[in-house]
Amino acid sequence: MGSDEFEIWPDNWLAVEVFISMGTQWRTGVSGATGLDYGVLRDVMALRRVPDDDQPELFDWLRLMEGEALGQMRDAK
pTM of the entire predicted model: 0.87
CA distance 47 to 42: 9
pLDDT, residue 1, reads 52
**pLDDT tens, residue by residue, 37-72:** 999 999 999 999 999 999 999 999 999 999 999 999
- Mapped onto helix, strand or coil, the DSSP state of residue 2 is coil
Query: 15: closest CA among 67, 55, 71?
Result: 55
CA distance 35 to 31: 12
Written as one letter, the residue type at 3 is: S
**Quick one: how far is CA 65 from the chain centroid?**
5
